[in-house]
Amino acid sequence: MKRAPLKLLSVLGFFLLWAIIAAAVNSPDVPGPAEVGLFVAREASSGELFYNLAVTLSRVAAAFLISLIVGSAIGIVMGQNRAVDRILDPWIIIFVNLPALVIIVLCYIWMGLTEVAAVTAVALNKIPNVVITMREGARSLDPKLSEMARVFRFSRMRTIRHVVLPQLQPFIAAAGRSGLALIWKIVLVVELLGRSNGVGFQIHLYFQLFDVAAILGYTLAFVIVMLAIEFSVVQPLEHHLTRWRPKPA
């Protein structure tokens, strides 16, 4: 637990630096932590903050789950089957290079300004990355363990749960980590372009009012939510899943 105070100190240092810069510039365009904190408190007491955070978070969760499941399925098949890999590889390269904005705009045009279009657009942006990571994972599956499972007549479920998934776990974690960060950034753009609620919409709104404290307030609030997820869900889960690894002394 020696690392915790150091981390805390680092975070405090960040806020201190921010406060000093804000005081030095002394402009309404660069609000200090206190002003931003005040906005967050006001927005929280009206309920507005939590509503918009929840809306954005649910979009992030939906897009995250869809892209992880669909991307994993495609990636694993590609990693295990050379023919499928050759056929789908150019598609993946095309999709991974399509600008997020193009996918979002096209989804809204073709599917209307709907929730489905928003989540689909975000998922489509993320799926190629998941595919590439999971394909790598599927290629690295140990054939010796698969043979063992066959010799001992493991059922399909048993093989997936005890032989395949533990080997894919680091790749799933990597795809998830980078996925969560990328997805919430894209969700904000999607909200800005075609939704009437969520953090992205609020930032758009306050951009038109040039209210920088509000923009930073929403950003800060969401970053805190993501940090909370990282520390309360992602890290303990990872720790649990890698408990079998030999620990460095």
Partner 1 sequence: MSADGEESEILRDLAFTLEAGTFTCLIGPSGCGKTTTLRILLGLDRDFSGTVTMPAGNVRTVAVFQEPRLLPWRTVEQNVRLALPPGATPDIQPLFATLGLQAMLDRYPSELSLGLERRVALARAFAVMPDVLLLDEPFVSLDEHTAERLRELLIELWRRHAVTVLMVTHNVREAVQLADRLLLMNGRPAGIVGDVAVPMERSKRSGDRLQQFLDELTRNHAQTVRA
Nearer to partner 1, 2 or 156 (CB): 156
The reply to whether 245 sits near partner 1 by the rule CB under 8 A is yes
Please count the residues of this chain forming the interface with partner 1, following the rule CB under 8 A: 17
List % helix, strand, coil for the chain (3-state, nearest 5).
85, 0, 15
Give me the numbers of helices (H) and strands (E) for the chain, helices first please.
12, 0
Q: Which stretch binds partner 1 (CB under 8 A): 7-15, 86-94, 129-137, 241-249?
A: 241-249
- Residues 100, 91: contact at Cβ < 8 Å? no
- Residues 72, 172: contact at Cβ < 8 Å? yes
**Upper half-sphere CA count for residue 23 (Cβ side, 13 Å):** 8
The reply to whether 141 sits near partner 1 by the rule CB under 8 A is no
- What is the CA angle 121-123-128, rounded to 5? 110
Q: Can you read off the two tokens belonging to residue 80?
A: 């295990």
Interacting residue with partner 1 among 41, 93, 96, 148 (CB under 8 A): 148
- E strands, 177-218, in order: none
**Closest residue by Cα to residue 39 from 195, 215, 231:** 215
Site for partner 1 in 200-229 (CB under 8 A): none
Interacting residue with partner 1 among 2, 144, 239, 240 (CB under 8 A): 144
Site for partner 1 in 152-191 (CB under 8 A): 152-155, 158, 162-163, 166
Residues 58-83 as b/e (b if ≥16 CB within 10 A, e otherwise) read: ebbebbbebbbebbbebbbbbbeeee
Provide the minimum distance between the beta carbon of 239 and partner 1 in the complex, in angstroms, as a whole number: 13
Provide the minimum distance between the beta carbon of 147 and partner 1 in the complex, in angstroms, as a whole number: 5
Provide the minimum distance between the beta carbon of 73 and partner 1 in the complex, in angstroms, as a whole number: 22
The reply to whether 86 sits near partner 1 by the rule CB under 8 A is no
Nearer to partner 1, 3 or 243 (CB): 243
Provide the minimum distance between the beta carbon of 172 and partner 1 in the complex, in angstroms, as a whole number: 13
Residues that bind partner 1 (CB under 8 A): 144-145, 147-148, 150-155, 158, 162-163, 166, 244-246
